[in-house]
Amino acid sequence: GYTGFECNASSDVTLEEDLLRRDLTVNAIAQDNLGNLIDPYGGKRDLDNRLLRHVSGAFSEDPLRVFRVARFATRYDYLGFTIASETMVLMQSMAKSGELSTLSAERVWQETKRSLLEKTPYVFFAVLNEAHGLSDWFTELENNLDAALATLKTAVELEKTANENGDKSATTKAKACESNALETHTLIIRFTALLSHLEEAEAKRLCDRLRVQNQVSEIVILACKFRDCLVNTSNCPTKLLELFNGCDAWRREERFTLLLSAFAPYAHRKGINWQRQQKHIKNALTAANQVNVQDIIATGVKGPEIREALNHAKHTAIAALNESFKNSLD
């Protein structure tokens, strides 16, 4: 990680000198014993004007501050806060210097995670893009950023609609369990939405670079790997079977259900009736799960032929369901 800090722990450091080394003026306000504000760098004025402005040139000593300011801009976007133009210029200069690449993956991912859980998470990446700060850590997003941010915004809107409608989905169930479960669920949905336009190899590369935890990255990578299957499954038993086998939906049904939820923003952006499509996919999985391997073995097949016969039987079960599904649309 980054090690170019200058530290001064001397008791001779005055309060004003200490405040001078803070990142933003709004964070460089103190209060004395009588309740009077000590505000040598105009933090109160910037609060009133809803401006995020760096205190001094010391801001550039820690490249993580580029990500922190992007996170603050995300957190307070709903209040109308913006980044001062001179601070954005400094952030751009820091990005150009290459020092963002010296940060540890853990610190960057921590800022990213926290931003993804804010009300307007797409602001974080828009700010980084304006600061030329995507190339070191989010290279894969640069070529299709507009689509990525639009899909992330859709994820937020779908969450809001579900909450307003009192939806009893996985989000609601997670909320009933504990806040950490809800946060993880939200993180998975939003990060998948952000990366859902990428190819599998690109998504994996980005997740590996940031050292994203497996619980999150595996859903993202599956969504990118099986994007075409998820979009085009309705009339194709072969694609559905490929999807179920590839995602190990037979043994990891809970993870597969989460994948379907995480894919909703992308599907919505593509104009797909995802509620109907998702229901059909789940019904197809249920139908395929009705196939009993013992019944197949009882027919006399052995060895490698068992798997082939099992897949054939599952394919037949899905095809029968597909026919019913198509008839229901006529």
128-178 pLDDT, tens digit per residue, is: 999 999 999 999 999 999 999 999 999 999 999 988 877 655 554 544 456
In a domain, 189, yes or no: no
Lowest mean pLDDT among 207-211, 266-270, 321-325: 321-325
Query: pLDDT digit string (tens) for 250-288?
Result: 999 999 999 999 999 999 999 999 999 999 999 999 999
Residue 263 lies in a domain: yes
Residue 4: band (very low, low, confident or very high) from pLDDT cuts 50, 70, 90: very low
Residue 233 located in a structural domain: yes
Average pLDDT of span 105-134: 98
Q: Which of 99-108, 253-262, 268-277, 320-329 has the lowest mean pLDDT?
A: 320-329
101 domain residue, yes or no: no
Q: In the numeric block, which tokens belong to residue 214?
A: 């497996």
Residue 325: per-residue pLDDT: 61
Please give the radius of gyration of the chain, using alpha carbons only, rounded to the nearest integer. Answer: 25
Residue 135 lies in a domain: no
Q: Looking at beta carbons, which pairs linking 134-141 to residues 24 or more positions away fall under 8 Å?
A: 135/95, 136/95, 136/98, 136/100, 136/101, 137/100, 137/101, 137/105, 137/108, 137/209, 137/210, 138/206, 139/206, 140/195, 140/198, 140/202, 140/203, 140/205, 140/206, 141/194, 141/195, 141/198, 141/206
The predicted structure's pLDDT at residue 144: 92
Percent with pLDDT over 90 in the chain: 67
Residue-averaged pLDDT of the chain: 89
Is 325 part of a structural domain of the chain? yes
Q: Which residue has the higher pLDDT, 274 or 329?
A: 274
**Quick one: average pLDDT of 103-131?**
98
Helix crossing, 170-177 with 179-195: angle to 10°?
150
Q: How many structural domains compose the chain? A: 1
| 303 in any annotated domain | yes
Give yes or no for a contact between 140 and 203, defined as CB atoms under 8 angstroms apart.
yes
Instruction: Kindly tell me if the per-residue pLDDT of 293 is higher than 80.
Output: yes
Query: What is the rounded average pLDDT of the residues 191-209?
Result: 98
Residue 38 DSSP SS3:
strand
| Within a domain: 319 | yes
Proportion of the chain above pLDDT 70, given as a percent: 89
Q: Which residues form the domain of 247?
A: 228-267+274-330
How does DSSP assign 74-93, residue by residue? HHTGGGT-EE-HHHHHHHHH
